[in-house]
Amino acid sequence: MNKLTRLGIGAAAFGLLVTAAVVAYNALSDRVDTSGRVALPDEGEDSSPKQAAPDFAMTDWAGNTIRLSDLVGRGRPAVLNFWASWCPPCEAEMPDFDRVHADFGHEVEFVMLDMTDGARETVEIGKRFAEARGFTMPVYFDTTSEGAITYGIRSIPTTIFIDREGFVITGAQGAIDEDILRRVIDFMLDD
């Protein structure tokens, strides 16, 4: 395969990834609240069709590549949080997530996705951040930005809530507190 063919295949693959990200962003944008609160479906019936949580690859703490679909849609609701150690609102909300994980981690899948870019945020920086604070919740790493692209993440922190069947039910852009997190988890567990 010559260089021009490889370049064409790479460009086509990148185009497909961007197209998938745009479609996922458009489908999810009406489910993610940017006002600082989280709207649950019972707070005004949502007539839009269910949106399956878009899948992407990430790296776990041990360096293994796993997919979101390996963690969600298996009978347990999930909390997907996009964060970075340099982000003050992310740092502020992380202890709340860790406390709630301690209470609900056996019933709810927590996917704390560190937005690593290889420069400002690396896997090593993210690990040191989590270890220094004694977090017990699972931390994953978005080393290729596939998660951020797939979900159209424009700012962090962003939290996406996924039901037991793997459908996005709501989300929030910006920091959320322990009370909101517990309220949404209670809703997901009662559903």
The pLDDT tens digits for 112-168 are 999 999 899 999 999 999 999 999 999 999 999 999 999 999 999 999 999 999 999
Mean predicted lDDT score pLDDT of the chain: 84
Which range (15-19, 70-74, 134-138, 158-162) has the least confidence?
15-19
Give the predicted TM-score (pTM) of the model. 0.78
Residue 87, C-beta contacts closer than 8 angstroms, at least 6 positions apart: 156, 157
> What's residue 40's pLDDT?
58
CB of 101 within 8 A of CB of 136?
Answer: yes
Tens digits of per-residue pLDDT, 122-133? 999 999 999 999
> What's residue 94's pLDDT?
97
Query: Which residue type, as a one-letter code, is found at position 122?
Result: T
More confident residue, 23 or 182: 182
Q: Which burial class, exposed, middle or buried, applies to 54 when counting CB atoms under 10 A from its CB (0-12, 13-18, 19+)?
A: buried
Which pLDDT band, with edges at 50, 70 and 90, does 30 fall under?
Answer: very low
Percent of the residues in the chain that have a pLDDT greater than 70, as a whole number: 75
Query: Which residue type, as a one-letter code, is found at position 183?
Result: R
Q: Which burial class, exposed, middle or buried, applies to 42 when counting CB atoms under 10 A from its CB (0-12, 13-18, 19+)?
A: exposed
> What's residue 73's pLDDT?
84
pLDDT (mean) for 85-95: 97
> What's residue 176's pLDDT?
96
CATH no., domain 3-190: 3.40.30.10
Could you give the CA distance from residue 90 to residue 37 in angstroms, rounded to a whole number? 16
The domain spans of the chain are: 3-190
Tens digits of per-residue pLDDT, 41-58? 654 455 567 889 999 999
> What's residue 58's pLDDT?
98
Could you give the CA distance from residue 41 to residue 31 in angstroms, rounded to a whole number? 10
Question: What's the Cα-to-Cα distance from 178 to each of 35, 101, 166, rounded to whole Å?
Answer: 17, 10, 23
